[in-house]
Amino acid sequence: MGHVDRAREFVRDESRTKWHDESLWFVRAKRDDAADTVPDWEALRDEAATIKRDALSRLPDLWRQFETAATEAGAVVHWARDAEEHNQIVLDLLEERGFRRVVKSKSMLTEECGLNPFLEARGIEIIDTDLGERIVQLRNEPPSHIVMPAIHLKRSEVGKLFEKEMGAPVGLDDPDALTALARKDLRKRFIAAEAGITGVNFAVAETGSFVVVTNEGNADLGTALPSLHIACVGLEKIIPAPSDLAPFLRLLARSATGQPISAYTSHFRGPREAEDIGSPAPAMHIVIVDNGRSDLLAQPSFRDALACIRCGACLNTCPVYRRSGGHSYGTTIPGPIGSVLEPSRDPKAHAELPHACTLCGSCTNVCPVRVPLHHQLLTWRAHLAEGGHHPTRRRVAFGLAGRLFAHPRAYEILTKAGRRVARRLPTAWLDRLTSPWTEARTLPPIPARSFREQMRARARQATKGPR
Amino acid sequence: MRVALFVPCYVDQLRPQIGLATLDFLTAAGFEVDFQEEVICCGQPFLTAGETKRAAALGARFVDAFQHVDAIVTPSGSCAATLRRHLESLVAAPAAASVAAKTFELCEFITKESACPPLSRPFPHRVGLHASCHGLRELGLGTPTETRAATRIDPARELLSRIPELEITSLDRRDECCGFGGTFSVEEAAVSTRMGLDRLEDHGRGGAEIVTSTDVSCLLHLEGLSRRRTLPFEIFHIAEILAASALGHDLRASAEPR
Ligand code: SF4
């Protein structure tokens, strides 16, 4: 089952589709208002786009610089070629210490690597501490959005889940009360945790430091209590200097949720200072992950997608995402940016995704780092067609049409005959013949004469002279 | 000034009256208009389906046919956008760049040339203007809601607002996609339908009786949905409304009966 089928299933529930569309449109509208508060919004986008593109052009240098600075600050840097290596490094770090209880703040990278199931299969308890992620974790499903993982769920559904998982009173759907419950439950896990895993929003080459942005402070709590902090970072997350953070921090929260700034912007540099004698010395490990990113970097048409700061704005504005839901994409990252990134991992499996798009271009316009998303989706279509990943019927149909349009005589004869038949057929038959166009649409009356024919008739009139 | 009229296949076959309205309106604006029978398609459906070679072959025909005219005008914003944005990268012929640069959507062309004939006949209707995504975001005809760049005029809105007694109705989402999207409309028919119905509902809330646009494909999609559900909308291309006001074309008589 691909996007087409899952999306069809999603829109079948009309009121839910409307609700989903409106929830996300609300976030998009907040983003618009937030952009209004910045007088030089477009210039800010330019600045961020330039910094990222510069960084992408010299990743190896910047990461080497980062490694040196981070090591000086007392962190240990690891390099992971792919998801397996990443997961193994994390597992080793935990097993070396005999740790079995881990808390994790939001990280799309660990989601991409399948870290949770990997650790769970090896007897390690890993708890997502971002409220939305915790909800989808308890439901045993992937996030449906990169910033708001449980945006597909209604409050009442969360209430039911908490009823089962946390003993919430029946029918509870007050968001504050639900949050308070989750909070109480999570407190225990924070206190019991032996290690805290975080993602990374920005790694700073010059200082070997990194920034984690959250709204709930869960990254701070999750790293302040346990002695071990493991930070997992994608190869694209590096920027040169601390001063480069400014445009990104101004853009990120505004683009993501319409907030002027996220509630917590936490800077980390090296492990915490040792506390009481007897407790284990705090340690910080940073795992830098490639997992296909350098392949993407090598493709000029798509490398700009590595500038993505995972703000989710392109999802919120996408009219297709809003009406098909994150799970319809069947990928870690849904929506426009996911449809650009995922086919590079597996073109065959994701050949449908660049077509789950009308090329309206709204995503490109909201993207804070100017990833040319809809043009990249168009380019993907060409690559996928060339790679033989498109359905044969599409290729055949376009092959025939292409030849027809290059032969005006044949075009004229065939279309004329087609129209004659169409005009004689009962509407119901015609609709059946022209399905799926007519699945939900009725054809207009078919004209007797085409534009060309009417032009010729006019010309004949004209040569007859004025009446 | 001699301009070439480009009428894409679906207008030729399904909405010839839009081609005629465009032709007559351009003539009334004082242009000498040529129609080239040889060119049927700009290549857009092929390009968006990933069939780049076929798009390029049709693009080459287009360049060949039109390299010597002063301007090429079409009643389809998305065809104009395809040619303007992609022709140069598809077709190696040196004339490709100049052909791309001199291809215009009808309202864009009329406004650029300041050549609008008097729009004197009143059009006492509430009209919803559907923004063509490609006109808006590729050709820059108007300011998309996403951007905070300097505002640009929307030629279609500009022209409609000159017509006496025509009221342009408002929309909650003034530039959301209608869900046509070429092959998308059939391959993702379910989502496409939802998107189109949402647009029509929005036009309904604004009180539109007529929905118009610079793009025929969006309109065919919206019209099909509206017909199936017998919604109270009439769908006309903007060239038809302009020709009605400038020349007294009868909108409803222009469609030939079955
Ligand atoms: S591609 Fe751009 S808009 Fe989409 S998530 Fe990434 S940064 Fe945000």
pLDDT digits (tens, 9 = 90+) for A126-168: 999 999 999 999 999 999 999 999 999 999 999 999 999 999 9
Q: pLDDT tens digit string along A402-438?
A: 999 999 999 999 999 999 999 999 888 888 888 889 9
Give the per-residue pLDDT at A428.
84
> Which residues of chain A from 14 to 53 reach within 8 Å of chain B, CB to CB?
17, 21, 25, 32, 35-36, 38, 41-42
Cβ separation A398–B40 shorter than 8 A: no
Q: pLDDT value at position B172?
A: 98
Structure confidence at residue A275 as a pLDDT band (50, 70, 90)? confident
Q: What is the CA radius of gyration of chain B?
A: 17
Phi/psi-derived region of residue A465, left when phi > 0, alpha when psi is between -120 and 50, beta in every other case? left
Q: Per residue in A171-190, pLDDT tens?
A: 999 999 999 999 999 999 99
Check A11 against B37: CB less than 8 A apart.
no
- Give the Å distance between the CA of A312 and the centre of ligand 1: 6
Whether the ω angle into residue A436 lies within 30 degrees of 0, i.e. cis, is yes
The CA distance from A430 to A360, in Å, is 30
Looking at residue B257, what is its pLDDT? 43
User: Which residues in chain B touch residue A38, judged by CB atoms under 8 angstroms apart?
Assistant: 148
Is residue A312 in contact with ligand 1, taking CB distance under 6 Å?
yes
Looking at beta carbons, which residues of chain A come within 8 Å of B176?
319
Given its phi and psi angles, is residue B141 left (phi above 0), alpha (psi -120 to 50 degrees) or beta?
A: beta
In chain A, which segments carry CATH 3.40.50.10420? 50-153+194-295
Over the range A206-229, which residues count as b (16 or more CB within 10 Å of their CB) and which as e?
Answer: ebbbbbbbbbbebbbbbbeebbbb
B138–chain A Cβ distance below 8 A for any pair = yes
ipTM score of complex: 0.96
Shortest distance between the Cα of B226 and any Cα of chain A, in A, equals 8
Give the distance from residue A366's alpha carbon to the nearest chain B alpha carbon, in angstroms: 6
So what's the pLDDT on residue A433? Answer: 86
Task: Using the mean position of ligand 1's atoms as its centre, give its distance from the Cα of residue B213 in Å.
Answer: 30
Interface of A with B in 336-355 (CB under 8 A): 355
Under 8 Å between Cβ of A260 and A215: no
- Residue A308 beta carbon below 6 angstroms from any ligand 1 atom: yes
pLDDT of residue A467 exceeding 80: no
CB–CB contact A323 B256 (8 Å): no
Rounded distance between C-alpha atoms, residue A52 and residue B162, angstroms: 46
Cross-chain residue pair A454–B225, CB shorter than 8 Å: no
List chain A residues with CB under 8 Å of B149: 42
Strands of A264-268's sheet, edge to edge?
A: A238-239, A202-204, A209-214, A264-268
**Residue B198 belongs to what H/E stretch?**
helix B189-205
Q: Does B198 touch chain A (CB under 8 A)?
A: yes
Q: Above 90 in pLDDT, residue A279? A: no
Contacts of A11 in chain B (CB under 8 A): 190-191, 193-194
Task: Kindly report the backbone phi and psi dihedral angles of residue A360, in degrees, each rounded to the nearest multiple of 5, phi listed first.
Answer: -70, -25
- Number of C-beta neighbours around residue A76 at 10 A: 15
Atom number in ligand 1 closest to CA A311: 8
What element of type H or E holds B82? Answer: helix B77-90
Closest approach of A265 to chain B, Cα-based (Å): 26
Q: What percent of chain B has pLDDT over 70?
A: 98
**pLDDT tens track for B133-162:** 999 999 999 999 999 999 999 999 999 999
Nearest CA to ligand 1 atom 6: A308
Helical H runs in A367-444? 373-386, 392-405, 408-424, 427-433
- Whether B174 contacts A32, CB under 8 Å: no
Distance A86 CA to ligand 1 centre (A): 24
Provide the pLDDT for residue B258.
37
Query: Is B35's Cβ below 8 Å from some Cβ in A?
Result: yes
Among residues of chain A, what percentage have pLDDT more than 70?
A: 99
Q: Mind telling me how many Å the CA of B227 is from chain A's nearest CA?
A: 6
pTM of the shown model: 0.96
Which residue shows structure tokens 């999750």?
A: A222
- Domains of chain B are 2-113 (3.40.50), 126-254 (3.40.50)
| Sequence-separated (6 or more) residues with CB below 8 Å from residue A57 | none
Ligand 1 mutation pick, A310, A341, A364, A365, max ligand atoms within 8 A of CB = A310
- Summarised one tens digit per residue, pLDDT across range A189-242 is 999 999 999 999 999 999 999 999 999 999 999 999 999 999 999 999 999 999
Nearest to A408 among B38, B255, B257 (CB): B38
What is the distance between the alpha carbons of residues B180 and A359, in angstroms, rounded to a whole number? 10
Helices then strands, counting H and E runs in chain B, come out as 13, 8
pLDDT value, residue A1: 84
Q: Regarding the domain with residue range A50-153+194-295, which homologous superfamily does it belong to in the CATH classification?
A: NagB/RpiA/CoA transferase-like (3.40.50.10420)
CA of A152 to the centre of ligand 1 (A): 19
Q: What is the count of residue pairs from A and B with beta carbons less than 8 Å apart?
A: 203
- Judged by CB atoms within 8 Å, which residues 419-458 of A form the interface with B? 419, 423, 436-455
The amino acid that residue B54 corresponds to is R
The preferred substitution site among A108, A314, A331, A370 for testing ligand 1, maximizing ligand atoms within 8 Å of CB, is A314
What integer pLDDT is reported at residue A465 of this predicted model?
Answer: 65
Q: Which residue of A has its CA nearest to B51?
A: A382
Cβ-based contacts of A358 with chain B (< 8 Å): 133, 177, 179-182, 184, 192, 195
Contacts (Cβ under 8 Å, ≥6 apart) of A409: none
The letter for the amino acid at A44 is L
Nearest CB partner across the interface for B50, out of A319, A385, A401: A385
Mean pLDDT of chain B: 95
The reply to whether A379 touches chain B by the CB within 8 Å rule is no
What spacing in Å lies between the alpha carbon of B38 and ligand 1's midpoint?
Answer: 43
Q: Is A213 in the pocket of ligand 1 (CB under 6 A)?
A: no
Question: Residue A462, Cβ neighbours under 10 Å: how many?
Answer: 9
Q: Please tell me the distance from the alpha carbon of residue A127 to that of residue A26, in angstroms, as a whole number.
A: 30
Spatial distance between the Cα atoms of A288 and A68, rounded to a whole number of angstroms: 14
Measured from the CB, is residue A337 less than 6 Å from ligand 1?
Answer: yes
Cβ-Cβ contacts under 8 Å for A375 (sequence gap 6 or more): A364
Ligand 1 geometric centre to CA of A364 (Å): 8
The answer to whether the CB of B184 falls within 8 A of the CB of A352 is no
Atom of ligand 1 nearest to the CA of A373: 1
Instruction: Give chain A's mean pLDDT.
Output: 95
Residue A310 beta carbon below 6 angstroms from any ligand 1 atom: yes
